[in-house]
Amino acid sequence: MKYAYYPGCSLHSSAHEYDQSMRAVFSQLGMELEEIEDWVCCGSTPAHMANELLSVALPLMNLLPARRQGLDVVVPCAACFSAFKVAIARAESDDHVRGQLASVLDEEYEGVRVLHALEAITDGPGLERISEQSLHSLRGLRVACYYGCLLTRPPKVKKFDDAENPQSMDRLVSALGGEPVEWSHKGVCCGASFSLTVLDVVHSLTGDILEQAKKAGADCILVACPLCHSNLDLRQGDIERERDIKIGLPILYFTQLLGLALGCEPESLGLDKNFVSPGWIIDRITANDIELDSAAGNEAEAAALRGGQSDNG
């Protein structure tokens, strides 16, 4: 299975570990990623605040090479994913927009399938196969799965998972033997790009998310967006000081946790880049060795460590 890969600007800098873990995990699962040649910025939030046509043209400019190769596109960043899905929805529903696009891009619009990385991984190989391939269990790990805003909303555009109580990451964690916690803030906004301009708001929103995850008994928070990761990880120390509380929750990209379960080396997953150290989580997971149990003839134990696919949804 081969995908055209659109990393986005963040994955080449502040979210470098997301890029590393994406490549490691896709490789482990036997899926090929081919980075789109000469991709340009998708425009993210600023484009749709400034100009409608620009916000639609920038993402579509990147889809054209993939379409020519007949490949589906995989996007790890939730903001880029949103830009692509919105652009496609506008182009497909509005003739006027399609006409404008044709004149500025010098090419007619044609449909391309765009998937968020979470969707590609959970729908592609399937949870059963991922579970069978895992070498380390997440047993004993309580995970707060944080979806943020743009993965699932608005549902008519994203057409992925449930908009009010998404479950795809939760199911992945269960399939790997971990325990996804029930909590209140799985889809509540972190403040996103206000991180640079309206920091107080980010501290307020992100602080609430961290506190609620802690309250729900989570050991760590799983994310699928560079900006969410940045707000929850980089800003955690400042928020702790501001609120005079202790949080200490490592923030992991879902690809990093999946990579650990599949037996990838922690450095290859960029786990040395977190501000809040996930060291103890790495130790705990790598200690749950499924192969050892299988080899010892302990099939029942190995199966238990692998976990099932929960029907929380």
Least separation, in Å, of the C-beta of 300 and another protein? Answer: 42
Which listed range, 35-43, 119-127, 132-140, 166-174, lies at the site for another protein (CB under 8 A)? 35-43
Per CB under 8 A, 102 contacts another protein: no
272-to-16, 141, 269 alpha-carbon distances in Å: 11, 20, 8
Among 22, 58, 73, 276, binds another protein (CB under 8 A): 58
Per CB under 8 A, 296 contacts another protein: no
Q: For every residue of 10-61, which 3-state class applies, written as one string?
A: HHHCCCHHHHHHHHHHHHHCCCEEEECCCCCCCCHHHHHHHCHHHHHHHHHH
Rg value, the chain, Cα: 20
Least separation, in Å, of the C-beta of 84 and another protein? Answer: 15
Among 25, 172, 192, 285, binds another protein (CB under 8 A): 192
The residue assigned the tokens 């880029």 is: 80
Least separation, in Å, of the C-beta of 137 and another protein? Answer: 28
Least separation, in Å, of the C-beta of 104 and another protein? Answer: 4
Which 8-state DSSP code applies to residue 262? T
Interface mask (CB under 8 A) for another protein, residues 7-26, using x and -?
--xx-xxxxxx---------
**Total interface residues for another protein by CB under 8 A:** 57
Least separation, in Å, of the C-beta of 132 and another protein? Answer: 34
Among 27, 29, 154, 243, binds another protein (CB under 8 A): 154
Whether residue 125 contacts residue 262, with contact meaning beta carbons closer than 8 Å, is answered with no
**How many other C-beta atoms can be found within 10 angstroms of the C-beta atom of residue 111?**
10
Among 34, 89, 100, 289, binds another protein (CB under 8 A): 100
Alpha-carbon dihedral of residues 279, 282, 285, 288, nearest 10 degrees? -90
Between 25 and 151, name the residue whose CB sits nearer to another protein.
151
What count of residues does the chain have? 313
By CB under 8 A, what part of segment 203-242 binds another protein? 204-205, 234
**CA 310 – CA 313 distance, rounded (Å):** 8
Per CB under 8 A, 141 contacts another protein: no
**CA 57 – CA 87 distance, rounded (Å):** 7
Per CB under 8 A, 39 contacts another protein: yes
User: What strands lie across the sheet with 2-5, from one edge to the other?
Assistant: 32-35, 2-5, 72-75, 114-116
Per CB under 8 A, 43 contacts another protein: yes
Which positions touch another protein (CB under 8 A)? 9-10, 12-17, 38-41, 43-54, 57-58, 61, 94, 100, 103-105, 149-150, 153-155, 163-164, 188-189, 191-194, 196-201, 204-205, 234, 272-273, 275
